[in-house]
């Protein structure tokens, strides 16, 4: 419950404060969002599985975002940024779908 409130507060803060993202950070934003979503769904599934661990959740979130951003950065430097971004999106996308499927099984028993 408390993390959900934190999420909502974060969204409201972002919409109200309207902070401007520096231009050099903008290419990493979409990938960071997908990495964050992956960490969140992983955390929710862990709660439902009864194996949630706050430290693991935070570390997985941070490492996901940092590694995804690093891959995009590396790809940009090598000139294959869009291909590597696609790779990151595919891998994280598969994980998100599998985790959401597991959450669905827990919640709806289907």
Partner 1 sequence: MSPRVDESMSLITELMEHPLEPSYEAAAAQRREAGLKPATSTATPLVLLTALVVGLLLALASVNLRAASSVVGQTRLRLIEQIEAGQARGDELKGKVTAIDGQIAAAQQAALGPSGLLQRLAELQVATGARAVTGPGVRVTLDDAASAAGSNADPRGSTGFGAGRVSAADLQIIVNGLWAAGAEAIDVNGQRLTTRAAIRFAGQAILVDFRPLTRPYQITAIGDARQLASTFSASPAGSYLKALGDNYGIPTSVKIEAEVTCPAGTIPAMAYTQPLPSTSTVTVPPTSKPTSTRVGVSSTPTTARTTSSPTKKATTTLTETPR
Q: At closest approach, how far in Å is the CB of 76 from partner 1?
A: 18
Only one of the segments 50-58, 68-76, 79-87 lies at the binding site for partner 1 (rule: CB under 8 A); that segment is 50-58
26, 76 Cβ separation under 8 angstroms: no
> Alpha helices of the chain — where are they, by DSSP H?
2-17, 29-49, 54-78, 81-108
Q: Which of 30, 70, 76, 87 binds partner 1 (CB under 8 A)?
A: 30
Cα–Cα distance, 25 to 51 (Å, whole number)? 34
Q: Is 42 in the site for partner 1 (CB under 8 A)?
A: yes
3-state secondary structure of 53: coil
Q: Which residues make up the interface to partner 1 (CB under 8 A)? A: 1-15, 18-19, 21, 26, 29-30, 32-33, 36, 39-40, 42-43, 45-47, 49-61, 91, 94-95, 98-99, 102
């Amino acid at each position: 419950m408390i993390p959900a409130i934190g999420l909502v507060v974060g969204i409201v803060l972002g919409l109200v404060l309207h902070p401007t993202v520096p231009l050099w950070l903008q290419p990493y934003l979409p990938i960071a969002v997908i990495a964050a979503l992956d960490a969140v769904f992983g955390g929710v599934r862990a709660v439902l599985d009864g194996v949630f661990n706050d430290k693991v959740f935070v570390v997985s979130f941070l490492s996901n975002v940092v590694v995804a951003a690093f891959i995009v950065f590396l790809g940009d430097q090598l000139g294959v940024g869009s291909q590597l971004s696609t790779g990151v999106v595919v891998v994280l996308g598969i994980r998100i779908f599998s985790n959401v499927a597991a959450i669905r099984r827990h919640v709806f028993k289907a």
